[in-house]
Amino acid sequence: MSHTTVPANLPVPVDNGECDHVTGSSFPPLDLPTTSGSTVNLVKPHGLTIIFCYPRTAAPGEIVPDEWNAIPGARGCTPQACSVRDLLSELKAHGVENVYGLSTQSTEYQQEVKERLHLPYDLISDDKLIFVRDLNLPTIEWKGDKLVKRITLAVSEGKIIRTWYPVFPTDKNAEEVLKWLKNREA
């Protein structure tokens, strides 16, 4: 199965309240490394920013094991990133100034992903899980690594003003964000 498609038989994640505390929270004052070689601190005014957090993207040629597919909400990082890429101009046309993807993978790993998928936005590395801990985001364990569960955040003026959790199906998340933006304008 291609990494760019979402299998039809994936288990659906359930909203268990793990992210109820996030909306309305102040964004942590962190300088996080990006794939452009700089850092970003989202407490500083940046306009409306969308950050989609995802567990991990597979390496080129990596076979996604059935155990990964069995974790509700785990599969679909590449389709999510590509759907954001494909709708980026529309997101920006409706008020989004910045878009970032965030995972606990290293910046070096993410740079390969950004190039391979032709992503026109930066990916943020939280490989030390500082961001995840500061916001008390839910995690999953995979092969000895702690990974962030999939959640999307809308941030404005240093506050998280909207969250999407759980995110499913992953390839429709950018469409959901765009719908919210359009409703805000109405």
- Report yes or no on 27 lying in a domain: no
Which pair of structure tokens corresponds to residue 89?
């101009």
Contact 143, 59 (CB under 8 A): no
Which pair of structure tokens corresponds to residue 53?
């957090």
Which pair of structure tokens corresponds to residue 134?
């500061």
- Report yes or no on 64 lying in a domain: yes
CA 25 – CA 45 distance, rounded (Å): 15
pLDDT in tens, the chain (186 residues): 455 667 788 999 999 999 999 999 998 889 999 999 999 887 776 789 999 999 999 888 888 899 999 999 999 999 999 999 999 999 999 999 999 999 999 999 999 999 999 999 999 999 999 999 999 999 999 999 999 999 999 999 889 999 999 999 999 999 999 999 999 988
- Report yes or no on 132 lying in a domain: yes
Give the up-direction half-sphere exposure of residue 84: CA atoms within 13 A in the CB hemisphere: 29
Domain region containing 180: 38-185
Question: 186 to each of 90, 95, 98, 127, 157, how far by Cα in Å?
Answer: 16, 13, 21, 39, 21
CATH for 50: 3.40.30.10
- Report yes or no on 2 lying in a domain: no
CA 10 – CA 3 distance, rounded (Å): 14
How many structural domains compose the chain? 1
- Report yes or no on 85 lying in a domain: yes
Q: What type of residue sits at position 9?
A: N
- Report yes or no on 102 lying in a domain: yes
Q: What pTM does this model have?
A: 0.94
Which pair of structure tokens corresponds to residue 121?
């936005």
